Structure 1
Amino acid sequence: MKRRLKELAILGAVLGVIGITALVSGVVPVNASSGHWDVTRWVLDYASDRSVGFHSRGIDVPALVEPGMITLGAATYESNCVFCHGQPGERQPPVARGMTPTPPLLNDSIVEKEPRELFYIVKHGIKFAGMPAWPTQKRDDEIWPVVAFLSSLPTMDNAAYLDRVRWDDQDLPDVSPIQDFAIEHCAACHGVDGNGRAGKRVPTIAGQNEGYLRESLLAYRMGERNSGIMMPVAHRLTDDEIDGLASYFASQQRTSSKSDGDAEETTFRAGERLAAQGDRKDKIPSCVDCHGPGETRHSDDYPRLAGLSRWYLERQLELFSLRHRGGSENANLMHPIADKLDADQRHALALYYSTADMISEPEAEGD
């Protein structure tokens, strides 16, 4: 027995020396051009599939048929993912084909994954595969539209995909340079006029305060406001482009309301009172003093809330309370307020603002 243990120890030492020698000498090639051995590819794929299946257990999958959800997911895919995986129905980009392992064409492989597994992969990425994690781990709500889009890929051709991520400007007369820029970078989600085209998860930015839009884009670019959708977009914008987009969308007429909640009278009135008067007992200030609506001129640095979707407003208040939203320096003002709002109050405020009319404020001097 002792002799056998001694032989195993010697064998282990020899293998260790060989391994260290190979590591230090650099004799083992790491060039991507040679690809993986078949056995290496199988081991990595098998281990990855087993790990994703194990760790995605228990993830609750929401309804993925929400209006606008696939469009939002497609636009996010075009911004974040198309460089490696390519457009549906088209060949993979040439640089991606030189990667080891090569990113899969999702039309072929997506049918093998359940939505909870897709969510886990998009959120956390995959080691040794070049698949990055979602830009922020604090916004799970942004990942589900991508999952909805990925789940629709087996039946989506390139024309249907382009219809979701491209804006046809042929009917627009005299397109200005900044409007053309907005069409290229913003219209897939927000619409060319900022009134939206990708459902309740996307805020209406038409008629929004210019200062607030500018500070929001700067916060996204600096990574101070959490969004895996907006951070990559804003990262590519210059100061002049941010100024131009903020001015352009602020000048657009807000034409639609995104009310997506039941207009229950009692809840609406509770939200209206809370917005106008606050709650002295719980030390909750009124909302209209900073956010309107009303005829009083408010700070350009605060957002106008009237006409935004109930879902979006309720979610923002929840993110503030969790410290998951981030934003400009003014965002910190919302933390103690959001802490005091319970779920019913958040719902009531969101319902009120989603159905409230945005009354025009007087022009500030110099506007």
Structure 2
Amino acid sequence: MKRRLKELSILLAGLGAIGLFVLVSGIAPINASGGHWPITRWFLDYASDRSVDFHSSGIEPHPLDQLGMIRLGAATYDSNCRWCHGRPGSPAPVVAGHMTPSPPYLPGTPLDKEPRELFYIVKHGIKFAGMPAWPTQARDDDVWPVVAFLQQLSQLDAEAYDRHVQVETESDSPVEQLAAQACAACHGTSTSPSAGPRVPLLASQSQAYLEQSLQAFKTGARHSGIMQPIAARLSDPQIAELAAFYAAEPDVERETTTPTVAESNPADLDEVVERGKSLAHRGDRQKKIAACAACHGPGTIQRSDDYPKLAGQPVWYLTQQLELLQRRARGGTERVERMHSIADKLTAEEIEALANYYAQLPLAE
């Protein structure tokens, strides 16, 4: 027994010495051009699949058939993902094809992943594969539209893909062309619909607020894996031009929205809206909640351009923003901390009431 232990010790010491020699000498190639050995590729793929399955096992998928989910996911994919994974109608990206391992070309390839697994990969990325993590870990709601789109991608041809991500404009104005390329697929314009209730409508917001928000996304002070990469690619003059463009837009074309939480019973909806109206205009002295309208409208009071107008924004979006503020997961401009103490005092019912009240108002108020 002692002899075998001695032989095993010598073997392990020899293997350690060989490993140390390989490490120190640098003779092991790390060049991507050589690719992986088949056994190495199999081992890494197998280990990755098992890890994703294990760590995503407790994730509950969100509903992926909500209005605008696929279009929002498509716009995000086109902005952030197609550079490595390709798009329908185009060959696999050349540069990405020379990575080791190379990113899979996703168009036309059915994915053998469950939604929870896709969510985990998109949010957390994959080590040693060049697959980055989502730009912010603070928000999961940004990730699910991408999952919804990925489940549909293999069924899309180039024309169907372009319908999701391209907004045509007949204008020769550089700023309108920039808006069509960078913003309109999600936020819409006066001639193109927005991508549903998960995104804010930018038309009629003040130029100051829009510019400050884009700068906050650009620096990462406001969290969004969708918006941060887009804002990071914009120059300061482009941000100012886009802010001025959307501030001058009177309204935005909208698709049929999903029913609000109380629309199944109009009487209940009226009651919810009235409760929201009272809270928006009078606040709640007992809970020390200031009236929302003093900063966010509507009304004739002169308000600062640094605050967003809430009238006409979708119920889902308004609800989500208040919940993000409660969790300190939204971020924002330097004034966002003023909203934390207010959001903390709101119950789920009060958030529902406020969102429904503001959503039924005309956008420009």
Q: Is the 8 A contact 1:307 1:358 kept in 2?
A: yes
Letter in 1 for 2:325: F
Check conservation: 1:259, 1:309, Cα contact below 8 A: no
Give the corresponding residue for 1:215. Answer: 212
- The 1:336–1:194 alpha-carbon spacing in structure 2 relative to 1, beyond 3 Å, is farther
Alignment map for 1:182-197 (pairs within 5 Å): 182-193=179-190, 196-197=193-194
Gaps of 5+ in 1: 361-367
- Aligned pair in 2 of structure 1 residues 19, 271: CA closer, same or farther (>3 Å)? same
Shift of residue 110 of structure 1?
4.2
- Provide structure 2 residue ranges, at least 5 long, that are not aligned to the other structure: 264-268
- Judge conservation of contact 2:75–2:165 (CA < 8 Å) in 1: yes
Match of residue 33 from structure 1? 33
Aligned to 2:164: 164
CA–CA distance in 2 between the matches of 1:34 and 1:259? Answer: 52
1:22–1:259: structure 2 CA closer, same or farther, 3 Å change rule?
Answer: closer
Q: Deviations over 1:32-53 (max 9, x none)?
A: 0010000000000000011111
| Equivalent position to 1:268, from 262, 273, 285 | 273
1:288 & 1:267 partners in 2: Cα distance?
17
Secondary structure of 2:274's counterpart equals helix
For 1:337 and 1:138, the matched residues in 2 are separated by 20
Amino acid at match of 1:114: E
2:322 is the alignment partner of 1:317 = yes
8 Å CA contact 2:281–2:292 kept in 1: the answer is yes
Give the length in aligned residue pairs.
357
Match of 2:43 in 1: 43
Against the structure 1 CA distance between its residues 194 and 268, is the aligned structure 2 distance closer, same or farther, given a 3 Å change threshold? farther
Instruction: State the partner residue of 2:155.
Output: 155
Separation in 2 of the partners of 1:39 and 1:51? 18
Matched with 2:298 is 293
Distance in 1, matches of 2:363 and 2:189, equals 20
* Equivalent position of 1:204 in the other structure: 201
Partner of 1:100: helix, strand, or coil?
coil
String of CA shifts for 1:250-295, please: whole Å, max 9, x gaps: 0000256767413411111110000000001111110000000112
2:233 alignment partner in structure 1: 236
8 Å Cα contact 1:52-1:117 kept in structure 2: yes
CA distance in 1, matches of 2:40, 2:116: 26
Letter matched to residue 166 of structure 1: Q
Task: Give the corresponding residue for 1:365.
Answer: none
Letter in 2 for 1:290: C
Give the % identical residues.
54
1:1-367 matches, within 5 Å, as: 1-107=1-107, 109-169=109-169, 172=170, 174-193=171-190, 196-255=193-252, 260-261=259-260, 262-263=262-263, 264-358=269-363, 360=365
Kept in 2: contact 1:205–1:249 (CA 8 A): yes
Q: Is the 8 A contact 2:32 2:100 kept in 1?
A: yes
- Alpha carbons of structure 1 residues 259 and 195: separation in structure 2 relative to 1, 3 Å: farther
